[in-house]
Amino acid sequence: MDSLSKFARQKLAEIKTKGLYRQTRPTVRTKAGGTARKDGNFISFCDNDYLGLNHHPDLIKAAEAASKKYGAGAGSSRLVTGDHPLNAELEAKIAGFKEGEAACIFGSGYLTNLGVIPVLAGRGDLIIADRLCHACLFAGSTLAEAALKVFRHNDLDHLRDILEKSRNKAGNVLILTDGIFSMDGDRAPVEALSDLAREFDAWLMVDDAHGLGVVEDGHGASFKRGHRLDVPLQMGTFSKAVGSYGGYIVADAPVIDLIKNRARSLIYTTGLPPGVVAASLKGLEIIETNPALSKKPIQKAALFCTRLGLPAPQSSIVPLILGDLEATMAAASKLAAEGFLITPIRPPTVPDGTARLRFGFSASHKDEDILRLVDVIKGKRILP
């Protein structure tokens, strides 16, 4: 065995010993909301397709038309010839919906965070991130040469303490949070974070991957009752509620101009395929013109929570934290045997000892399926 394969086998053995081995599995998600795998047909509660737009005929039609007109791929980086006209259209649309001056779209949400954070925070600067921020916010922070401090989840006192002790020693300060936390489903106190950021002259960046299309009539967690909060960096993705793919950042025009000049994950990578951008445009249009649709995922989650006696959901995501790895895997298997697909979430995606079942609710779920899921959870004694 060569040293490379030996290295890989050893690492895999360690992963398997810890019970953390993962595999990709071909999965066919269907228009009717079902999900098929080699091992059976399921109703899935682990997608992020919160509005059921993945299979919406208008998105598919838009993707087809754009592919015919502009080609299946972008052909090069946006800064070379890959900037087909739909990019500017989508940037104007997301900036308008988020009430910002300008936007820059990226290949994905992950690439957005990898690109944007190092542009804004460099040597001598400080990044302060919520402990439960998504992995790509930490990945972007690692690429930046700034110092990184972490505050306890949603703990404003801890953040203030860090700011009081460190603000004056740093150049620029960037505060990072998810708008809706991806594995916990709770919401960040964005208004209070924004007040703190202003008080200490720090820049607040909210990753609203799970808020867009779901909270505040679809506008996301940087809004409150119809008003845009003071969040200078609104980041998100088109890959969840919007039903398509790609990431974005909305900010003032000079900030976006700088990002377009400096973000390496924009400059040194091929632009998004035209069909994907066209689908995002259509998905956003549906969200903008249909606020009642955006209310549905939380209504579905609320039905689930009420029946199980859980606290009211703050988003479309509801975790059942079981803690123990084996118990979590066993619970997922019991649900699968009853036709429900819920991927168990394990470390390192979540902190050690907090393995969980993460339920994602969609406008396309039928109430009767949610009620049957509740019955199975009760019957199989899956509640923590």
Ligand X SMILES: Cc1ncc(COP(=O)(O)O)c(C=O)c1O
Contact residues: ligand X, CB under 6 A: 108-110, 134, 136, 178, 182, 207, 209-210, 237, 239, 247
DSSP state of 51: T
Closest to ligand X by CB, 170 or 206: 206
Q: Are 159 and 175 in contact (CB under 8 A)?
A: yes
Q: Are 246 and 42 in contact (CB under 8 A)?
A: no
Q: Is 282 a catalytic residue?
A: no
Chain center to CA of 171:
29
Closest to ligand X by CB, 200 or 248: 248
Closest to ligand X by CB, 247 or 297: 247
Find the catalytic residue in 108, 141, 182, 362: 182
* Residue reference for tokens 């967690």: 221
Neighbours of 18 (CB within 10 A): 12
Find the catalytic residue in 56, 84, 98, 240: 240
Tokens coding 370: 């949610």
Alpha carbons 255 and 121: distance in angstroms, whole number: 13
Quick check: helix, strand or coil at residue 205?
strand
Neighbouring-strand partners of residue 29: 35
**Which residue of the chain is nearest ligand X when measured via CB?**
109
Find the catalytic residue in 56, 84, 134, 210: 210
Q: Is 182 a catalytic residue?
A: yes
Neighbours of 225 (CB within 10 A): 6
Quick check: helix, strand or coil at residue 149?
strand
Query: How large is the greatest C-alpha to C-alpha distance in the chain, in angstroms?
Result: 62
Distance between first and last Cα of the chain: 45
Angle, vertex CA 193, rays to CA 261 and CA 119, nearest 5: 15
Q: What minimum distance in Å lies between the beta carbon of 264 and ligand X?
A: 16
Q: What minimum distance in Å lies between the beta carbon of 129 and ligand X?
A: 12
Closest to ligand X by CB, 49 or 207: 207
Q: What minimum distance in Å lies between the beta carbon of 241 and ligand X?
A: 11
Alpha carbons 59 and 55: distance in angstroms, whole number: 7
Alpha carbons 315 and 299: distance in angstroms, whole number: 9
Closest to ligand X by CB, 91 or 207: 207
Closest to ligand X by CB, 102 or 209: 209
Q: Report the candidate in 225, 230, 180 with the shortest Cα–Cα distance to residue 204.
A: 230
For the chain, what percentages of helix, strand and coil (3-state, to nearest 5) are there?
40, 20, 40
Closest to ligand X by CB, 349 or 364: 349
Neighbouring-strand partners of residue 237: 247
Which residues are part of the catalytic machinery?
182, 210, 240
